[in-house]
Amino acid sequence: MAWQLDPMHSRVGWTARHYGISLVHGHFKQVEAALQLDGDDPTRWGFEATIHATSVDSACEPRDHHLRSADFFDAETFPTIHFKSNRVERLGDGYRLIGDLSCRGVTREVAVDGQFGGESRDREGNPRRGFHGETTIDMKDFKIPGSPSVANNVKLTIDAEAVDRQSAEAPR
């Protein structure tokens, strides 16, 4: 099946502590993904994503400029962040997606705990599947210098909706 990420209904977000007293939220506006979602067993699925570091958006351009700098993503040298799943495991009533995350030239295995939201059909008859996942990464693991004002641990939140346009039924 030709599952495609629906960017209008998907988001890769992040949350970081600022001075230990507040949370700063943001997301990446440009994410591309290849999805292997054949069959009904999520433990047999695969996922690969490319996130454009230059698309970081925290609703504050001076902060976004700093995040693109060598203090954080070094987006000029490392324009993309890449994730490729290795396996999916059952985890209680959810799943754990385990894969390799590459950022700033460093690759580490990470685990994303999440939920399969189910499947539905859209108005054109296209099957759609939804997912939610969360993980926390330590910026130091990826040689991200950061800033004394920002905690090393950053929570990543993935909300994704995929559509299979190849197996659509006739329009209703």
- The pLDDT of residue 168 is above 60: no
- For residue 63, CA distances in Å to 52, 71, 160, 168 come to 17, 11, 26, 43
Residue 58: what are its φ and ψ, rounded to 5°?
-115, 10
What would the mean pLDDT of 50-65 be, rounded to a whole number? 98
Give 155's strand partners.
Answer: 15, 136
- Structure tokens, 76: 């000029």
Of the listed ranges 31-35, 95-99, 112-116, 168-172, the least confidently predicted one is 168-172
Predicted confidence at residue 170, as pLDDT, reads 40
Please name every residue paired with 84 in a beta bridge, in sequence order, or none if there are none.
48, 100
What are the residues facing 153 on neighbouring strands?
138
Contact 31, 13 (CB under 8 A): no
What are 61-76's pLDDT values in tens digits?
999 999 999 999 999 9
Q: Could you tell me the CA-to-CA distances from 138 to 47, 76, 148 in Å, in that order?
A: 22, 22, 14
Cβ proximity of 23 and 16 under 8 Å = yes
pLDDT classification of 2: cutoffs 50, 70, 90 = confident
Residue whose token pair is 């004394």: 148
- Residue 167's pLDDT is what? 65
Q: Distance (Å, rounded) from C-alpha 13 to C-alpha 64?
A: 14
Domains and their CATH numbers in the chain = 3-164 (2.40.128.110)
Cβ contacts of 35 within 8 Å, gap of 6 or more: 3, 4, 5, 45, 46, 47, 162
- What does pTM read for this prediction? 0.91
